[in-house]
Amino acid sequence: MSENRSDAPLREDIRQLGGLLGSTIHEQSGEHVYQTVEEIRGLAKEARAGDTEAARALEERLGELPDELIVPVVRAFSQFLNLANIAEQHHRVRRSRAWVRDTETGPLRGSLEEFFKRMKPTGNGEDLHAVIANLDIELVLTAHPTEVMRRSLLQKYNHIAELLDQGDRLDPTPEEIEEVHQSLKREITAAWETDEIRRRRPAPQDEARWGLAVIEQTLWDVVPHFLRRLDRILQRQTGKPLALDAAPIHFGSWMGGDRDGNPRVTATVTREVCLLNRWKAVELYEKELDELIEELSLQCASDELRAWVGDAWEPYRTALKAVRDRLLATRHWLESRLAGRRPAEGLIYWRTEDLREPLMICYRSLHESGAGVVAEGRLKDLLRRLSVFGLTLMRVDIRQESTRHTDALDAVTQALGIGSYADWDEAERQRFLIRELDNRRPLIPHDFEADEDVTEVLDTCRVIAEMGSDSLGAYVISMASKPSDILAVKLLQKEAGVTSSLRVVPLFETLADLQGAQACLEQLIEIDWYREHIDGIQEVMIGYSDSGKDASHLTAAWALYQTQEELVETARRHGIRLTLFHGRGGSIGRGGGPTHAAILSQPPGSVNGRLRVTEQGEVIQAKFGLPGIAERNLELYITAVAEATLVPPKPPENDWREIMDQLAENSCDVYRNMVRETPEFIEYFRHATPEHEISHLAIGSRPARRKPTQGVESLRAIPWIFAWTQTRLLLPAWLGAGSALAKGLESGHRDALHHMYEAWPFFRAFIDMMEMVLAKSDPAVAAWYDARLVPESLRGLGEGLRARHEETRQAVLAVSEHDNPLDEAPVVQRSVGVRNPYVDPLNLLQVELLDRVRHGHEEDLREALMICINGIAAGMRNTG
């Protein structure tokens, strides 16, 4: 299948959608707007092709654009980019199907078929089956403070993707083709007439509902379909099926539980979100029960089923109606709780096993009665859903910053007159915590009163006691650094009456915390009380965002790799089963990138059949918004984790480690010298990017800053990266790396660096991600911002950064020995090329808008600026 021929349908889809958008603009906004958009589009294409006169004309045309034309022009280019994204997502599904059918090229890399074909020679079927059967992968959905697109538009865009899929059906009639065309026109017109801007900041409950919508609209059906496929292939390749209760991949959530730096997430919110998750689960199971009741009209039944329902004429319907009635009672009970009432306790479903048991009786009965083929359909899918989603769909993690627990215990010890917990050293804190954890009497008096922040911490622990571990997942402590940080949360849960304590997960984020993670875990495991209470299981979270913001992407990547190695070795020595929880973001600067390559590049032994990873806001939609894309991403997780377990990569050679140490040190020095030690940098950053204006977007419940200070250290990693993505400099992803690599090349390591690229998955993944950054970034665009928005006294900083970008480009290509970035990824290369002529006008318009807004036209042009931010985010395929 030639690359050009296989991409012809994509080009046709983009042409069709672009044409429909053009006709919509003409019809809805008039000839003048349409001609203006076409003129700008033509100039942008010519400018991208190297026509300097067209580039000059484009700048002039956009600069003289009257206020009343700015919004429709910005909307036109933004909507085209969104439509191009839809076409590309749909084409990924189309290509996956084509690869399955193409016997010459074979199955797609990372697919189940390709994985089993490649892995079978490495061991026997028993080993392969055992690895798949014991996989434990949890995708933790989190809200995204810079997720820009409204749900109303996402729904329309998803429908457009469905229509494109309909158009791909074999041998459509002319009437069917026309119907799809007209339906596309209706959706594009509706999208054009829909407001892109979210007018109010979402509440945490809204974010939780968005997460539930992804489960309901996509994953609820994709998961059982995918598990059926996995089951078939597993039986074919190993002779053994996938267990009925297997959940190789399942889901968690931070929505409604992540209170780190977000005062809007309270104990009340967490309780409501837990109840909301259960309510949605019950609603979905009710619908499935209705379908099963319609389907299972059979009369044959086992003795076990007859013992339950008696001499019923239709035993399965009788049994399932009783289950549905109990689900209905559960839903009414949950609705009362959500309305703030205290309903009487009744016969409701609270444990997943209570719902599974009657369904299993029906399943066994069908098999015993000779109707097993019926059991293997809808009923089996429902049982698989129960294994994956339980009665909560997603268990909610609690996340809180470590100092909040210190403050709570300090308030308690001072109220009791036993000193200041905050002033005690680590040894004294540990002695106190262990003594109280072993003490059966309560520490906190019933009449204890504290300030609002301390009360909120204690109330959160009471919600944990109320909701229980069926609704809640882990308690994650951000900025953790000492054993007392973990023991403190254990004690606070005990004091709240938590009977089944949530596992406590330290999150190591900054460079210093990552470097101290192994010592912290070692000290924890050596505490007799702690070792006895974790039952041989420990989870540790490592943060990609703040470590990159703290020390540079390259330095953070190497620190994360070494930290994982150290944690794995510590856990092995102590006989502890370790799960690593990766706090990755969508952008490359926050650990994002292709899933399959990222997992396979982890240190040997760090995956070992278990993985937890965050999936954030905009990435959730990109990975799981469409059924075909969702299934592809599930299989990539499954195959990568299984492969990393079966055939882990070899550890790096000692001289590679020495080179990486040098690279990391040099990268950190360059990065911190610029970001932290250059006095003018913050002022330059504020002028050269729309960082301030982004804060006005109503796009997340969480504030952009943890603390009300002006430095980069207080700015969250996501808006920090979002601002640089808008100007297309993407500085956080490469600053420091290029200088370090250039120094390494000059020091005589050229051959070694190239060998590392060829033979070490970690280093190859890093360099490939650098190429992706270089392909998507454009220093010339960033220069437009400097020329209009940055005071002349600060422009030298921008020139210096752009020179470092070029240094990075040369160094990365020297290591990979490629002529251009992404030479080995032509599909991505073309994708970037298609977008550039549409993103360029948006960048130029954003410069114009920022200049006007900053000079007194704020109210008139704020809407256009917000739409422009959305459009550039769509063109770059990510925000933060």
pLDDT digits (tens, 9 = 90+) for 165-184: 888 876 778 888 899 999 99
Helix count and strand count (H, E) for the chain: 39, 8
26 is annotated as an active-site residue:
no
- Rounded to an integer, the average pLDDT of 325-351 is 92
State residue 125's pLDDT score: 79
Bridge partners (DSSP) of residue 139 are: 251, 613
| DSSP tag of 589 | G
CB distance 876 to 728 below 8 Å: yes
Structure tokens belonging to residue 876: 């770059």
CATH of domain 397-619+634-646: 3.20.20
State residue 168's pLDDT score: 80
pLDDT confidence tier of residue 251, bands split at 50, 70 and 90: very high
Which has more pLDDT, 719 or 39?
39
Q: In this structure, what are the phi and psi dihedrals at residue 249, rounded to the nearest 5 degrees?
A: -140, 135
State residue 697's pLDDT score: 64
Structure tokens belonging to residue 64: 């003289």
pLDDT tens digits along 811-846: 999 999 999 998 888 878 888 888 888 899 999 999
State residue 488's pLDDT score: 98
330 has a pLDDT exceeding 90: yes
- Pairwise CA distance, residues 604 & 73, whole Å: 51
Q: In this structure, what are the phi and psi dihedrals at residue 358, rounded to the nearest 5 degrees?
A: -65, -30
State residue 714's pLDDT score: 53
Which has more pLDDT, 91 or 397?
397
- Mean pLDDT across the chain: 90
pLDDT tens digits along 297-314: 999 999 999 999 999 999
- Rounded to an integer, the average pLDDT of 443-470 is 95
State residue 2's pLDDT score: 40
- Pairwise CA distance, residues 609 & 356, whole Å: 26
What are the boundaries of each domain within the chain?
3-130+145-198, 269-389, 397-619+634-646, 654-876
Q: Is 449 exposed, middle or buried (0-12, 13-18, 19+ CB in 10 A)?
A: exposed
Which has more pLDDT, 95 or 231?
231
pLDDT tens digits along 519-573: 999 999 999 999 999 999 999 999 887 888 889 999 999 999 999 999 999 999 9
pLDDT confidence tier of residue 717, bands split at 50, 70 and 90: low
State residue 719's pLDDT score: 78
Q: Which of 91, 129, 494, 549 is catalytic?
A: 549
- Pairwise CA distance, residues 532 & 530, whole Å: 5
pLDDT confidence tier of residue 619, bands split at 50, 70 and 90: confident
State residue 713's pLDDT score: 59
Q: 834-843: string of b/e by CB count within 10 Å (b at 16+)?
A: bbbbbbbbbb
Q: CA geometry: angle at 657 spanning 652 and 658, to 5°?
A: 150
Which has more pLDDT, 409 or 863?
409
pLDDT tens digits along 576-594: 999 999 988 665 555 556 7
pLDDT tens digits along 677-693: 999 999 999 999 999 88
Task: Measure the N-to-C terminal CA separation of the chain; round to a whole number of Å.
Answer: 36
- Domain 269-389 bears CATH identifier 1.20.1440.90: yes
State residue 879's pLDDT score: 44
Q: Which residues lie closer than 8 Å to 337 by C-beta, 6 or more apart?
A: 275, 343
- Pairwise CA distance, residues 196 & 31, whole Å: 22
pLDDT tens digits along 727-751: 999 999 999 999 999 999 999 999 9
10 Å Cβ neighbour count for 538? Answer: 25
- Rounded to an integer, the average pLDDT of 753-769 is 96
Q: Which of 91, 129, 144, 805 is catalytic?
A: 144
State residue 859's pLDDT score: 64
> Cα–Cα distances in Å, from 329 out to 294, 333, 350, 525?
21, 6, 11, 45
857 has a pLDDT exceeding 80: no
549 is annotated as an active-site residue:
yes
User: The tokens 């913001």 sit on which residue?
Assistant: 549
880 has a pLDDT exceeding 50: no
- Pairwise CA distance, residues 183 & 790, whole Å: 46
